A and B are shown apart, each in its own frame.
Chain A
Amino acid sequence: MARLVIMGGGVAGHTTATFAKKWLGKDHEVVVVTPNSQWNWIPSNIWVGVGQMEKKDVVFPLAPIYKKAGIIYKQALATTIHPEGKEGDDTPFIIIQSTEEGSVGETETLTYDYLVNATGPKLNFDATPGLGDGSGQMGSNTVSVCTAEHAVHANDELTKTFEKAKAGKRQKILVGTGHGTCTCQGAAFEYIFNIEHEAKKAGIRDMLDIKWISNEAFLGDFGMGGLHMKVGGYAVSSKLFAESLYAERNVEWIIGAHTSKVEEGKIEYELLDGTMHEETFDFAMLIPPFSGVGFKAYAKDGADITDQLFMPNGFMKVDAKYDAGAYENWKASDWPETYQNPSFGNIFAAGIAFAPPHLISKPMSSPNGTPINPTPPRTGMPAGIIGKAVAHSVCDMIKAGDDVELHKASMAEMGAACVASAGKGVLHGTAAAMTVYPVVPDFEKYPGTGRDTKYTFGEIGLAGHWIKHILHHMFIYKAKLKPGWTLIPE
């Protein structure tokens, strides 16, 4: 009997675990280690953050789902990896620390035959002074929608801001990225437009100054270097599409910005031209930068081998080309295909946890040397597809030996469908429905735009909202492993 241990229970980890268990059956063990007791459909946190959904609508308990599936569930935080085992015993293992009520802090050694790192990111609030509280958590100056709890808090604060506006006090709202290296601009994009939509519904839009701040070099970059889509017979840049959406809603923007300091009601930021500025606010939602969760890895003799498994930013090394060099040398083939760690063939990474070879957007920095560029997105559909490919590979290795051909899921050969809400409502809501193919542009295959414009498109409308709402229910249904769950694609 082999044991597959998956660290993380988000989109990538949950997909890997559930498919692996389905394919391996009762002959092998699948163990999920996650510090969270609940699964969260993160894309709908936006609606929790504007009071259009409750926390219970976007989360569900993991334990009963894993019990039903026959997956061993450990509510714990993985802390160290020992891929060579220990003196006298070659069995690799990880150390986990319980987060379950009644046993918090208790440690356990968990051996594995195969290990998948699907932890997602650490929300690195402390990278920007004042954005965090100094102990790794979100500070009190701004809000976030990265977790369901954060979104509930964001809605509480937004409600107070709306009340002040209703009382006749003009309010300044600032939404965007809290550092020069953030990703997930899409979540902030959805949140600012949902705030604007709710303000209109509440009749207080005229009392709000709403402003966007982002590390993107241009609006519509989204960490993918932007995209081109066919509209009215033209192939147009997402820059024009995004700028139009902001201008239409009277939302001003600050771009190419590194938020360098956050205080109560004020941020300081540096622009790509090196100049420093300030912006005041009454309510701000700033996305933190992501980093790896900070695992340590040790050899059999206790030597620190963290650098064999992880990049300095904490994300796991996989089969990517990390020495591609300057932007001019970047190729689609730099991107990983199998997500196998080059030093240990029984370790894989999936979702945000893998280290990308480089940015997708063109690297930028200010004259002061401050990098101001979005990091590559790898959430949602790519995370699910990668998780499934990794599950396939591990199952094949368990059943047929380690020499089998591994399954591939390169982001340079996969597309992504993204539906960004611009306001909730069955009859009057809208969302930008977009597809991009491939996620990582391939300028050798598609000279010009780097992508296939037959399959890269975007439009805003009520239909997009319907799709977003259906996806909410469909993916929670799938994650709960209800009948036919495997028929719903990642």
Chain B
Amino acid sequence: MIKEELNFAKNDEFNLTMLPGKFALAMRTCKIWQFFRFMVINVKMLIVVSKSH
């Protein structure tokens, strides 16, 4: 049984979308990966901020 996929069966609308697997969920709170994403997101946001002023 793949626990992460159980919600597909709970609702017809749920069935038509996408659900994250175990690896994607783990990466969301993986400190090392998220520190890297923190840097990337900050750079992207700074670019958008600088283009908006």
Residues of A at under 8 Å CB distance from B? Answer: 240, 243-244, 246-248, 250, 252-253, 381, 385, 388, 413-417, 427-428, 430, 433, 435, 437, 455, 457, 459-464, 466-467, 489-490
Contacts and interface: CB of A to CB of B under 8 A. Distances in A.
9 contacts: A244-B18, A247-B8, A250-B7, A252-B13, A415-B51, A416-B52, A455-B51, A461-B37, A462-B31
Given A244-B18, A247-B13, A252-B11, A459 B48 contact: no
Interface in B5-53: 7-8, 10-11, 13-14, 16-20, 27-31, 34-35, 37-38, 41-42, 44-45, 47-53
Contact of B49 (A250, A464, A489): A489
B17 A243 contact: yes
B14 A247 contact: yes
Nearest to B17: A243
Contact of B48 (A247, A437, A490): A437
Given A244-B20, A248-B19, A253-B13, A463 B41 contact: yes
A62 B29 CA distance: 38
Interface residues of B, number: 31
Contacts of B20: 244, 248
Contacts of B50: 489
A413 B29 CA distance: 34
Contacts of B45: 417, 433, 435, 467
A326 B17 CA distance: 32
Interface of B: 7-8, 10-11, 13-14, 16-20, 27-31, 34-35, 37-38, 41-42, 44-45, 47-53
B31 A433 contact: no
Q: Which 5 A-B pairs have the closest CB atoms?
A: A463-B38, A414-B52, A247-B14, A415-B48, A243-B17
B17 A244 contact: yes
Contacts of B48: 415-417, 435, 437, 455
Contacts of B28: 430, 460-462
Contacts of B30: 462
Contacts, number: 90
A457 B20 CA distance: 18
Contacts of A385: 52-53
Contacts of B7: 247-248, 250
Nearest to B11: A252
A415 B48 CA distance: 6
A388 B28 CA distance: 36
Nearest to A385: B52
Q: Which of B35, B42, B52 has the most CB of A within 10 A?
A: B52
Contact of A428 (B29, B35, B38, B52): B29
A427 B31 contact: yes
B17 A415 contact: no
B41 A464 contact: yes
A417 B53 CA distance: 13
Contact of B29 (A415, A416, A427, A435): A427
A2 B7 CA distance: 63
Contacts of A252: 11, 13
A419 to B, nearest CB: 9
Contacts of B14: 246-247, 250
B39 to A, nearest CB: 8
A467 B42 contact: yes
Given A435-B45, A466-B34, 20 more contacts: A244-B19, A244-B20, A247-B8, A247-B14, A247-B17, A250-B10, A252-B11, A413-B52, A415-B49, A415-B52, A433-B41, A437-B48, A455-B48, A455-B51, A459-B37, A460-B28, A462-B31, A462-B34, A463-B35, A467-B38
A65 to B, nearest CB: 23
Given A248-B19, A467-B38, A461 B51 contact: no
Given A243-B13, A459-B37, A417 B31 contact: no
A430 B29 contact: yes
A489 B17 CA distance: 37
B36 to A, nearest CB: 8
A428 B31 CA distance: 9
A463 B19 contact: no
A427 B31 CA distance: 8
Contacts of A381: 49, 52
Contacts of B35: 463
Nearest to A243: B17
A428 B26 CA distance: 11
B34 A240 contact: no
